[in-house]
Amino acid sequence: MQEIKCPKCGEVFQVDKTGYNQIVRQVRDKEFSNELERREKELIVKQEQKLELLRLQDEKEHSKSISKKDAEISAKDQLIAELQAKLKASETARKLAVAEAVEKKNEELSEKNSEIISLKGELKSKETENSLSEKSLKEQYEEKLKLKDEQIEYYKDFKARQSTKMIGESLEQHCLTQFNSIRMTAFPNAYFEKDNDARTGSKGDFIYRECGEDGTEFISIMFEMKNEADTTATKHKNEDFFKELDKDRNEKGCEYAILVSLLERDSELYNNGIVDVSYKYPKMYVIRPQFFIPIITLLRNAAQNALYYRRELQIVRNQQIDISHFEENMKAFKEGFAYNYQLASKKFTTAIEEIDKTIDHLQKTKAALLSSENNLRLANNKAEDLSIKKLTKNAPSLKAMFDDLKHDE
């Protein structure tokens, strides 16, 4: 049994352990309620401060990110403007160079016209001198003609003594000698050798190749030399060899095909000079031996000029590709930035919604705590209204015990 003294009347009474624990719990519950209410207020204040701090930090980081992206976009725009200015300046310089070249050519033409006029004057002044030396020239011509006739007779005799194979080889040797005589001065970096690769079943006579300073091949020619004896019964035509020559050219990876021919000697077509037969096969020509070096020079110079313009065109194309890639990267950056901005905005909205939900939850918790406080207040009122009389009501034995204690006092 535990003794309890009434704080109002000073009366001491005893209660069992269960009753005592109930009274102690009621007192503690009141203190707990006060402490709970105080901590609830502190928690709400701290939560509101924390939410405000998070909101300010998020706004600051968001503003900083937008400023940084704006600066990057501005830098990219400035770079685009600089590249466009450089491209425009390059185009202007190219136009000026073309204009200067045209002007130079016009000046050269003017000088040539002056030279022609001067030469015409000199020619007129020499007409008298030529008329006086006509007899001497005629005699010299007759002497040369005699030498030519002797050479022709020698050539006929030479061909008569040669086999068909030797005749063809003599033409090949003639072309090789011509090329080697000017190789080091006119074609120092060129490749000109016999085609000895017969793995595909056939081969040409000579292959010419030449590369630029960067090692890029800019011209390649497959040569075929054809000749035959005057006494050959069946005469060949140049066209008989076009198909095989085109096949050899393609198998050896050559760009041009040239037939050096002494066939059809009476043909006005082939005796006029370089004959383009591209209507039969692409980039194919038929020439007489005296045009062997000129055709190489013409094709080589044309290929060199084309190589220069191809390089210039490639530079411009590369610049355009770089600008196109830059614009694609800029577009991808803007799209990515917009996508990330939308995600950030969506997450920000979601965070605000979660904060609102948390506040709503805290409000409900607060309402529940307030309701709990009201129940504790009612319980406390009931505890304060507790008396021995009420406790011993309907309990005669407990009432008799309290009466005995009172009587003993």
Residue 169's pLDDT band (cuts 50, 70, 90)? low
pLDDT of 295: 95
Which position has the higher pLDDT, 184 or 15? 184
Which position has the higher pLDDT, 184 or 158? 184
pLDDT of 390: 63
Q: Are 241 and 226 in contact (CB under 8 A)?
A: yes
Query: How confident is the model over 261-290, as a mean pLDDT?
Result: 91
Cα gap 68→307, rounded to integer Å: 47
Which position has the higher pLDDT, 30 or 364? 364
Query: How confident is the model over 182-187, as a mean pLDDT?
Result: 92
Which position has the higher pLDDT, 42 or 30? 42
pLDDT of 252: 92
Query: How confident is the model over 290-308, as a mean pLDDT?
Result: 89
Strongest mean pLDDT among 137-141, 208-212, 214-218: 208-212
Judge residue 172's burial from the number of C-beta atoms within 10 Å of its C-beta, 0-12 exposed, 13-18 middle, 19 or more buried: middle
Q: Are 228 and 164 in contact (CB under 8 A)?
A: yes
pLDDT of 158: 45
The 3 state secondary structure assigned to the chain is: CEEEECCCCCCEEEECHHHHHHHHHHHHHHHHHHHHHHHHHHHHHHHHHHHHHHHHHHHHHHHHHHHHHHHHHHHHHHHHHHHHHHHHHHHHHHHHHHHHHHHHHHHHHHHHHHHHHHHHHHHHHHHHHHHHCHHHHHHHHHHHHHHHHHHHHHHHHHHHHCCHHHHHHHHHHHHHHHHHHHHHHHCCCEEEEECCCCCCCCCCCEEEEEECCCCCEEEEEEEEEECCCCCCCCCCCHHHHHHHHHHHHHHCCCCEEEEEECCCCCCHHHHCCCEECCCCCCCEEEECHHHHHHHHHHHHHHHHHHHHHHHHHHHHHHHHHHHHHHHHHHHHHHHHHHHHHHHHHHHHHHHHHHHHHHHHHHHHHHHHHHHHHHHHHHHHHHHHCCCHHHHCCCCHHHHHHHHHHHHHC
What's the angle, vertex CA 293, arms to CA 292 and CA 294, rounded to 5?
Answer: 95
Residue 218's nearest CA partner among 317, 302, 312, 314 is: 302
Average pLDDT, the chain: 77
Query: How confident is the model over 33-48, as a mean pLDDT?
Result: 78
Cα gap 63→93, rounded to integer Å: 45
Cα gap 224→380, rounded to integer Å: 125
- For the chain, the C-alpha Rg in angstroms (whole number) is 57
Strongest mean pLDDT among 8-17, 98-107, 260-269: 260-269
pLDDT of 382: 67
pLDDT of 181: 93
Number of Cβ within 10 Å of residue 254's Cβ equals 21
**What phi, psi does 97 have (nearest 5°)?**
-65, -40
Name which of 106-110, 336-340, 385-389 the model is least confident about.
385-389
Cα gap 168→262, rounded to integer Å: 10
Residue 192's pLDDT band (cuts 50, 70, 90)? very high
In this prediction the pTM is 0.41
**Residue 294 predicted with pLDDT over 50:** yes
Residue 292's pLDDT band (cuts 50, 70, 90)? very high
- Which tens digits make up the pLDDT trace of 59-94? 788 778 777 777 877 887 788 778 778 777 777 777
**Residue 274 predicted with pLDDT over 80:** yes
pLDDT of 406: 65
